[in-house]
Amino acid sequence: MTTADHDVTASWSRIGTWLATHTRRGPVRPAPDTARLDAFEANLGLPLPADLRAWWLLPDVSASYWIPQVFAPVSLDEALETHEIWLLVAEQEGESFDENGQPESRYQREFMPIALSPGGDGLIVDLRPGDTHGAVLLWDHETWAQDIPQWASVASMLQDITHALETGTPVLLSHAALGGSQEPNTATIDNALDLTWEPTTPGH
């Protein structure tokens, strides 16, 4: 087991235990078809980050909305289907430029969705070479605007969530400190025993 495998597996184990203790049981993400994952990687022509591959290979991942702000892990099949749809939309829109003459952001083939919100936004992993390689980004399906990464990696996302759940402290503090648009959030459990993430009150 690599360090990435260990970090991802250990974090999910702790998150899964916390969810089982504090929330009602929800759906479970289907096991992935590793051949499809390998085919995506081969078609991309770039190696997947070790922690992203470890994420897809995790067993029994809750498919409820436990990722801040309101995101649920998707199956590999749904991730790849969403990937193709968003690529098609980007192609149909064509290239356009903002008021400064800069190309507006478009969904890229080097992005890979890992979670979706009820409203159709996504958390995607950036597979492009560069400073944000492996980072988890928010993909707003309406604005397409690129923000500072939510987390530097899948492993750091899981570590941040683990720490927040176990200690009652906010997630996304690093994102906010870097000037990101998303507020830090703290986990709460509602009357239906569902996990929700609420904006953190200043000073807490």
* Model confidence band, residue 101 (pLDDT cutoffs 50, 70, 90): low
* Structure confidence by residue, pLDDT tens digits, 44-68: 999 999 999 999 999 999 999 999 9
189 domain residue, yes or no = yes
**pLDDT surpassing 60 at residue 202:** no
* Structure confidence by residue, pLDDT tens digits, 27-38: 999 988 899 999
Closest Cα to residue 148, out of 110, 182, 199?
Answer: 182
**pLDDT surpassing 50 at residue 3:** yes
**Token couple for 82:** 């969403």
Question: Are the CB atoms for 148 and 179 separated by under 8 Å?
Answer: yes
| Centroid of chain to Cα 83 | 14
Looking at residue 114, its pLDDT comes to 98
Structural domain of 64: 3-92+104-199
Q: Give 57 or 106, the one with higher predicted confidence.
A: 57
pTM higher than the cut 0.85:
yes
Residue with tokens 């025993």: 193
**Token couple for 52:** 């992203």
159 domain residue, yes or no = yes
The values of phi and psi at residue 14, to 5°, are -70, -40
98 domain residue, yes or no = no
Closest Cα to residue 193, out of 15, 39, 18, 50?
Answer: 18
153 domain residue, yes or no = yes
Q: Give 201 or 54, the one with higher predicted confidence.
A: 54
Taking CA atoms, 192 is separated from 124, 188, 189, 200, in Å, by 29, 11, 8, 21
Q: In 3-state terms, what secondary structure has residue 126?
A: strand
1-10, 148-157, 192-201: lowest mean pLDDT where? 1-10
72-86, 96-110, 182-196: lowest mean pLDDT where? 96-110
**pLDDT surpassing 90 at residue 171:** yes
99 domain residue, yes or no = no
Give the span between the Cα atoms of 146 and 51, in whole angstroms: 22
Looking at residue 204, its pLDDT comes to 45
**Token couple for 55:** 């994420």
Give the span between the Cα atoms of 129 and 62, in whole angstroms: 30
**pLDDT surpassing 80 at residue 157:** yes
**pLDDT surpassing 70 at residue 160:** yes
When pLDDT is averaged across residues 175-198 and rounded to a whole number, the result is 94
CATH number of residue 52's parent domain? 3.40.1580.10
**Chain mean pLDDT for the chain:** 90
Q: How many domains does the chain have?
A: 1
Looking at residue 100, its pLDDT comes to 57
Q: In 3-state terms, what secondary structure has residue 193?
A: coil
160 domain residue, yes or no = yes
pLDDT above 90: percentage of residues in the chain: 77
The identity of residue 68, as a single letter, is P
